[in-house]
Amino acid sequence: MSELVAYYDENPVEVTGQVEIHQSPMSAAVGSQSQEGVIRAGLVYVRVPSAAGLLVPFGRYDDWSLRDQYNEAIRIMNTLGAAEITCETFGETTVRRGLRAKIPGRGAELTQQRVEDSRFDYRHVGAGSAPRDPRPLRWADEPGFSAAVSSVLENAASQVELNISVNRTHAVDGTLGINLKQFGFDLGGTSERSATTRLHIVASFPQARKGWRF
């Protein structure tokens, strides 16, 4: 569970143990930095475990973490010497079928469809290079990242695939978001959701060449 923090000018908000959030006076914000600029009182932030002192507004965290994991995945693949990298974006769409669509809440199913998203769609083709160890990893708890590193460095994998999914636990209109708003907290985002729900990254690696050292 990510750590939620908020700062106050005079007194903390009484949450009566209903939500887990660490509240501190504004003076305690010294040494921290917000992803959006100035740290504001009453705004709920998510403390980024991989970047000391970095705070991201609750309502923007899901999209921010997706972008950050994407950048980290591309960095890892390039450092490992990938000759080709492709990233495709997928989103959820609701499909309704037949007469059941007339019954509220029934007859609909969510499917994953390829979407064009210029923010993430990426393709690189090159000669590749000698693999280097990209650790320490910014998202060390993501098993796919660690597995990719081991596959290339230890097992000389020729291809690696990664799937990065959007985390919806910080949605403004989600259960946690609604609970926080009931106590008067600002979440720093909107109820609009990004169409992107999953990134599919495939990287191909050249076979070891003479003179390369692992």
- 71 CB-near residues (< 8 Å, 6+ apart): none
Q: Report pTM.
A: 0.82
* Domain layout of the chain by residue ranges: 3-204
- By CB atoms closer than 10 A (0-12, 13-18, 19+), residue 50 is middle
Average pLDDT over residues 40-53: 90
Position 46 confidence tier, pLDDT thresholds 50, 70, 90: very high
Task: Please determine, for residue 102, whether its predicted confidence score (pLDDT) is greater than 50.
Answer: no
Average pLDDT over residues 117-128: 88
The per-residue pLDDT for range 150-197, each reduced to its tens digit, is 999 999 999 999 999 887 788 888 899 999 999 999 999 765 666 678
Three-state DSSP class for 46?
Answer: strand
Instruction: Give the C-alpha separation, 1 to 19, whole Å.
Output: 12
Q: Per the omega criterion (within 30 degrees of 0), is the bond before 49 cis?
A: no
